[in-house]
Structure 1
Amino acid sequence: MRILLPVDGSARSLDAIHHGLRLARDGLQASFLLLNVQEPTHLYEVLMLRDADARAAAAREAGESALQSAQALLDAAGLAYEVEITTGDPAQQIVEVAEREQCDAIVMGTFGHGALSEALLGSVSQEVLQHAGVPVTIVRHAPPAEAPPATGPDELAEEG
C-alpha cells in the first residue's frame, strides 16, 4: 500500500505522520510519500525576487524546511519514504499527486489554522475529501495531553 502524507510543517499535519507510524507499528506494509505544497508565487514576491530560478529555489527550501519534522519522525522509526515538493493550490496538488503517484490512500491532518478553522474541518481537507479518487483519512488533532507518544525505532522493534 502506498500512502500519501501531505505535510505543511504544522503540528496538525504531523498528526498524520503519527497515524502512519501507528499503522506501520500495527503491521501495515506500506510505503510513504511525504508531500509539501508551496503556495503559488504572489505578485509581491515576483517584484522582490525577479529571478524565476531564485523563486523556485526559495520555494524548494521552504518545502524542505516544512518537511523536516515529518522526515525526522519517519527516520527515527526506520521507515522508508519518498519526498515531493510542489507549488500550487494545496488541495488540488494533493489530489493530483495521489493520482499521478498511484497512491492507495491519503492520510492527512486537518490543516486548520485559527479558531474558525478549528471549528470546521478545514477547507483543504474538505476539498481533498470531495475530489480524491482514493480513501482519505483525516486525523483529528489531539491536544498536547492526548498526543500520541513518540514512536521511535526501539518501540517499533519491541512491538514488531
Structure 2
Amino acid sequence: MYKKILLAADGSDHARKSAEHAAYLATMETDSVVTVVYVVDAASSKHDVLAEGTSSTYLNELRHERIRPVEGILEEKGVSFDYKILKGEPGPELIRYANEEAYDVIVMGSRGLNALQEMVLGSVSHKVSHGAHCPVMIVK
C-alpha cells in the first residue's frame, strides 16, 4: 500500500510517536522504505550556530542526534530507512520535497518542538495536509 513513506522528524515526542506509526505502515509492505526528514529552518539554524559553533559537519551531526530515537524505533521494527536534511520553512519544504519525490504518504506529529511558532504562523502539519499530493497521517 505505502512503499515510499516520508516521516517528518524534529526530535519531539510527537515525532517519536509518528515513528511508531510509520514503522507500522512500512511493515505492511515487504519493500517499503521510510525517509526520515529533518527540516532546518532559519530560527533553529541560527540557534544552533550561536549555541554550538559554525562547523556545518558538526551541526549536521547535532541535528542527526536529535532524531536518533526515531531511527532506533525504525531499526527495532526492522524497517528500511534513510535520512535527509532539508533547509527552509518546514511546511513548504516538506510539501515541496514530498510532491517532487512522489511519496505515497507523509507521517508527522501534530505538534513539533516550536509550539509558539505554530500558534503564530499556523501549524506545520496543517500546512502539509493542505499542500501535499499524497495522504498525510497526523499523529497526536
In the superposition, the TM-score normalised over structure 1's length comes to 0.69
Q: Distance in 2 between matches of 1:130 and 1:59?
A: 31
> Matched residues in 2 for 1:38 and 1:82: separation?
17
| Structure 1 spans left out of the alignment, 5+ residues | 141-160
- TM superposition shift of 1:118: 9.7
Matching residue of 2:103: 103
Aligned to 2:87: 87
Distance, in Å, in 1 between the alignment partners of 2:48 and 2:11 is 23
- Tell me the matched-pair count: 132
2:79 maps to amino acid = L
Q: Secondary structure at the match of 1:35?
A: strand
The one-letter code of the counterpart of 1:136 is V
SS in 1 for 2:137: strand
Q: Please, which moves more after superposition, 63-72 or 109-118?
A: 109-118
Change over 3 Å in CA distance of 1:83–1:113 after alignment to 2? closer
Q: Who is 2:15 aligned against?
A: 13
Match of 2:33 in 1: 31
1:156 counterpart residue number: none
In the alignment, is the contact (CA less than 8 A) between 2:12 and 2:112 conserved in 1? no
Q: Give percent identity, aligned residues only.
A: 28
Inter-CA distance 44–129: structure 2 relative to 1 (3 Å threshold): closer
- What amino acid is aligned across from residue 135 of structure 1 in structure 2? P
Amino acid at match of 1:105: V
Structure 2 distance, partners of 1:94, 1:137, is 13
Structure 1 match to 2:124: 124
Which residue does the alignment assign to 1:63? 63
- Paired residues of 2:10 and 2:112 also in contact (CA < 8 A): no
Instruction: Give the superposed CA RMSD.
Output: 2.9
Amino acid at match of 2:29: L
Structure showing greater radius of gyration is: 1
